[in-house]
């Protein structure tokens, strides 16, 4: 790293919680400022010999001096080092959005003739990119329910380069066995990536389960305040260097210094926030289970969740996302949007304010998932005719419960 700023050496024994405050933190030697510097410069002064690129251009750009802010910027770099420490990884590449991180990883690791095995249900943008866009580039794609390990095994081919999953899965909160999937992928010489946006590193550190690359939409719980977009891919140095050299430089979806600064500010409170939303979510899930208007609740912390045993093993907290089903979901959605006073009826998740939205199964199938047969039956087993996706925020638990009760009760 360039020696322009001072990074404090940290004891190797620090917990992830402490690293979430201090990893990568740079103290500005000219002022001694402890809060991260926001570096707005597009370019930085060079020393003779700086910026000598190799012919194929895939060296680790993060190790070069700050030449040009599209591939590294001192503020974004502090965020990347903090994210790497949170996941117990060598390195990270931050991007302008979570979607840019997903696209950057896929377009770096896959080329025409390669095969991708992808979770049949995951974030809608990832489903649409993998199943509708990648085939146009000659990449073969097989969607699989990753809970069914025998079907993942059967889907793998000699040209499978990557298996991409999510846990818990957006929106149906299915939990997949990361260790088993990593073992399976590696047995076939493939890489495995997981979008861990719903879990955050507070719940699960996927690299410890053998996963090669972890992705986050930083827009969600990691920033946590609903005021900035961002994404990251995190993993081994050589993999991140490859993704930075391709996606970071050529896709150009660079995170701005302001956004990186805000996300670091959000990360400062990630651990206490995730503990609080998990605690509130557990009680809200139990309250909904007992509510006369609610037919089914899906929350990894409930004994009734289909993968509860796995969730207990793989998640340190169960997170802030709850799914629930009601009779006449469209009518109930209307009622919620008109009556809620604390919770907002809106898309997105992982903000300080609680959010809820109905994901109607028929509409989801028409617009995004297009599942049939067993895969459709598996989706319906979690979502029924429609799933209310509830993202728990930081409001008082009693206010969330009272708001849900008054809005749900006819
Ligand atoms: C699990 C998951 N991954 C990725 C994304 C995409 O993130 P962004 O909106 O930051 O591009 C989302 C957005 O909702 C998401 O829920």
- Ligand 1, atom 8, lies closest to the CA of 98
Taking the centre of ligand 1 as the mean of its atom positions, its distance from the CA of residue 386, in whole angstroms, is 20
Taking the centre of ligand 1 as the mean of its atom positions, its distance from the CA of residue 128, in whole angstroms, is 13
**CB of 99 closer than 6 angstroms to any ligand 1 atom:** yes
Mean pLDDT value across residues 18-39: 86
Locate 147 and state its tokens: 């809970």
**CB of 217 closer than 6 angstroms to any ligand 1 atom:** yes
Locate 356 and state its tokens: 């809820």
Q: Is pLDDT larger for residue 157 or for residue 9?
A: 157
Q: Which residues of 11-44 are buried (b: 16+ CB within 10 A; e: fewer)?
A: eeeeebeebbeebbbbebeeeeeeebbbbeeeeb
The verdict on whether omega for the bond into residue 44 sits within 30 degrees of 0, i.e. cis, is: no
Mean pLDDT value across residues 212-230: 98
Q: Is pLDDT larger for residue 186 or for residue 27?
A: 186
Taking the centre of ligand 1 as the mean of its atom positions, its distance from the CA of residue 118, in whole angstroms, is 16
The whole-model pTM stands at: 0.96
**pLDDT > 80? residue 358:** yes
> What span, in angstroms and rounded, lies between the C-alpha atoms of 348 and 346?
7
Taking the centre of ligand 1 as the mean of its atom positions, its distance from the CA of residue 160, in whole angstroms, is 25
Taking the centre of ligand 1 as the mean of its atom positions, its distance from the CA of residue 98, in whole angstroms, is 5
Q: What is the mean pLDDT of the chain?
A: 94
Probe ligand 1: pick from 170, 228, 323, max atoms within 8 Å of CB? 170
**pLDDT > 90? residue 12:** no
Taking the centre of ligand 1 as the mean of its atom positions, its distance from the CA of residue 355, in whole angstroms, is 15
- The per-residue pLDDT for 192 is 98
CATH of 19-267 given 3.40.640.10, 2.40.128.20, 1.10.357.10, 3.30.1490.20: 3.40.640.10
> What span, in angstroms and rounded, lies between the C-alpha atoms of 319 and 224?
13
Q: Is pLDDT larger for residue 12 or for residue 143?
A: 143
Q: What confidence tier does 273 reach under pLDDT thresholds 50, 70, 90?
A: very high
- For 208, phi then psi, to 5°, come to -70, -15
**CB of 98 closer than 6 angstroms to any ligand 1 atom:** yes
- Ligand 1, atom 2, lies closest to the CA of 123
- The per-residue pLDDT for 52 is 61
Q: What confidence tier does 2 reach under pLDDT thresholds 50, 70, 90?
A: very low
**CB of 105 closer than 6 angstroms to any ligand 1 atom:** no
- The per-residue pLDDT for 51 is 64
- The per-residue pLDDT for 74 is 92
- The per-residue pLDDT for 58 is 61
Q: Tens of pLDDT along 303-355?
A: 999 999 999 999 999 999 999 999 999 999 999 999 999 999 999 999 999 99
**Where in the chain are the domains?**
19-267, 270-408
**pLDDT > 60? residue 388:** yes
- The per-residue pLDDT for 57 is 58
Taking the centre of ligand 1 as the mean of its atom positions, its distance from the CA of residue 18, in whole angstroms, is 26
Look-up of token digits 């680790």: 60
Fold of 270-408: 3.90.1150
Q: Tens of pLDDT along 112-149?
A: 999 999 999 999 999 999 999 999 999 999 999 999 99
> What span, in angstroms and rounded, lies between the C-alpha atoms of 378 and 382?
7
Taking the centre of ligand 1 as the mean of its atom positions, its distance from the CA of residue 217, in whole angstroms, is 5
**CB of 326 closer than 6 angstroms to any ligand 1 atom:** no
Beta strand extents in 185-293 (DSSP E only)? 191-195, 213-217, 231-235
The β-bridge partners of 251 are none
> What span, in angstroms and rounded, lies between the C-alpha atoms of 322 and 305?
11
**pLDDT > 50? residue 15:** yes
Lowest mean pLDDT among 1-15, 137-151, 373-387: 1-15
Coil, helix or strand for 151? Answer: helix
Locate 85 and state its tokens: 């420490």
**CB of 231 closer than 6 angstroms to any ligand 1 atom:** yes
- The per-residue pLDDT for 24 is 83
**pLDDT > 50? residue 3:** no
**CB of 97 closer than 6 angstroms to any ligand 1 atom:** yes
Q: Tens of pLDDT along 41-84?
A: 999 888 777 766 665 556 788 888 788 999 889 999 999 999 99
Cα 179 off chain centre by: 18
Locate 162 and state its tokens: 């990557």
- Ligand 1, atom 9, lies closest to the CA of 98
Q: Tens of pLDDT along 162-185?
A: 999 999 999 999 999 999 999 999
Q: Tens of pLDDT along 232-269?
A: 999 999 999 999 999 989 999 999 999 999 999 999 99
């Amino acid at each position: 790293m360039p020696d322009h700023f001072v990074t404090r050496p940290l004891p190797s024994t620090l917990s992830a919680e402490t690293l979430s405050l201090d990893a990568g933190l740079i103290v500005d030697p000219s002022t001694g400022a402890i809060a991260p510097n926001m570096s707005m410069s597009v370019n930085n002064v060079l020393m003779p010999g700086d910026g000598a690129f190799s012919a194929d251009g895939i060296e680790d750009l993060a190790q070069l001096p700050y030449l040009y802010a599209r591939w590294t910027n001192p503020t974004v770099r502090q965020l990347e080092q903090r994210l790497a420490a949170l996941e117990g990884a060598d390195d990270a590449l931050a991007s302008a959005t979570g979607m840019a991180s997903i696209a950057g990883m896929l377009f770096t690791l896959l080329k025409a003739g390669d095969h991708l095995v992808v979770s049949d249900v995951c974030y809608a943008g990832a489903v649409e990119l993998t199943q509708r866009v990648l085939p146009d580039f000659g990449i073969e794609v097989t969607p699989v329910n990753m809970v069914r390990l025998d079907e993942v095994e059967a889907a793998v081919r000699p040209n499978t380069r990557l298996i991409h999953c999510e846990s818990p899965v957006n929106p149906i909160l299915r939990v997949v066995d990361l260790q088993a999937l990593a073992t399976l992928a590696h047995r076939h010489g493939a890489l495995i990536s997981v979008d861990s946006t719903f879990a955050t590193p507070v719940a699960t550190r996927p690299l410890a389960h053998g996963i090669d690359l972890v992705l986050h939409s930083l827009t969600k719980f990691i920033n946590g305040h609903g005021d900035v977009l961002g994404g990251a891919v995190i993993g081994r140095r050589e993999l991140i260097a490859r993704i930075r050299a391709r996606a970071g430089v050529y896709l150009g979806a660079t995170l701005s210094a302001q956004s990186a600064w805000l996300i670091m500010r959000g990360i400062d409170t990630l651990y206490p926030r995730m503990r609080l939303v998990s605690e509130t979510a557990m009680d809200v899930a139990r309250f909904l289970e007992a509510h006369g208007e609610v037919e089914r609740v899906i929350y990894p912390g409930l004994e009734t969740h289909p993968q509860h045993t796995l969730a207990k093993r793989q998640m340190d907290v169960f997170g802030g996302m709850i799914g629930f089903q009601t009779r006449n979901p469209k009518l109930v959605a209307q009622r919620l949007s008109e009556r809620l006073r604390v919770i907002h009826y809106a898309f997105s998740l992982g903000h300080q304010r609680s959010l809820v939205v109905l994901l109607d199964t028929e509409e989801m199938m028409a617009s995004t998932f297009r599942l049939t047969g067993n895969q459709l039956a598996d989706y319906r087993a979690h979502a029924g005719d429609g799933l209310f996706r509830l993202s728990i925020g930081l409001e008082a638990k009693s206010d969330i419960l009272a708001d849900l009760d008054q809005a749900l009760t006819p």
